[in-house]
């Protein structure tokens, strides 16, 4: 599907409102593809009331919500090697009540949790204000009901 920024925000909030936890959602795309726009929308939908600044320096930021859900937002762009993930508490990620959002998941290599959603955003060459969105199921993450689009399966 091809969405403008407002539509992407609506869709992301709907994901955040409806997703079951624990869930890991990887957000893939080039610089400026809209990974953070989508992560913030999912977080807002899940009940985060704070603004969600970019975790590009801290790599990981954690948010409480109105409910017992916690949102964990990671941006792994500055990760040098996947081994650095252990310092972030990587092994405890994906606890019962967490929505884990991971930008630049490819930096985690083989350490990515085996069950997750992978959302890929691309900027169409001729439409700089739209984004093509593809959703891939990797392993067996909890169902997402916010998907009015086809889902492919990987791994
Ligand atoms: N349809 C769209 N969906 C999302 N963002 C859009 C869209 N059209 C334009 N934009 C703009 O694209 C930019 C996306 O920035 P964002 O920080 O979300 O990218 P990113 O993928 O997180 O990049 P980075 O790799 O630097 O973290 C924003 O400035 C946003 O306003
Ligand atoms: Mg970003």
Q: What is the pLDDT of residues 74-103, one digit of tens each?
A: 999 999 999 999 999 999 998 889 999 999
- One CATH from 2.40.30.10, 3.40.50.300, 3.30.70.80, 3.90.1580.10 for 2-140: 3.40.50.300
User: First-to-last CA distance in the chain?
Assistant: 22
- Per-residue pLDDT band for 126 (boundaries 50, 70, 90) equals very high
Q: Report how far ligand 2's centroid is from the alpha carbon of 122 (Å).
A: 13
133 C-beta closer than 6 A to ligand 1: no
**Nearest CA residue ID for atom 9, ligand 1:** 129
Query: Rounded to whole angstroms, what are the CA distances from 135 to 119, 151, 152?
Result: 5, 5, 7
Model's pTM, two decimal places?
0.94
Which atom in ligand 1 lies closest to the alpha carbon of residue 8? 3
């Amino acid at each position: 599907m091809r969405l403008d920024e407002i539509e992407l925000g609506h869709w992301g909030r709907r994901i955040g409102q409806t997703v079951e936890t624990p869930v890991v959602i990887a957000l893939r795309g080039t610089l400026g593809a809209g990974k953070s726009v989508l992560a913030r929308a999912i977080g807002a939908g899940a009940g985060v009331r704070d603004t969600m600044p970019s975790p590009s320096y801290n790599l990981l930021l954690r948010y409480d919500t109105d409910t017992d859900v916690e949102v964990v937002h990671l941006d792994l762009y500055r990760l040098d090697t996947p081994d650095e993930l252990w310092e972030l508490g990587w092994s405890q990620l994906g606890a019962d009540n967490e929505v884990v959002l991971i930008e630049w998941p490819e930096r985690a290599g083989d350490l990515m949790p085996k069950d997750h959603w992978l959302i890929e955003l691309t900027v169409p060459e001729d439409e700089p204000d739209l984004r093509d969105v593809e959703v891939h199921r990797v392993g067996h993450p909890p169902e997402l009901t916010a998907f009015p689009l086809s889902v492919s399966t990987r791994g």
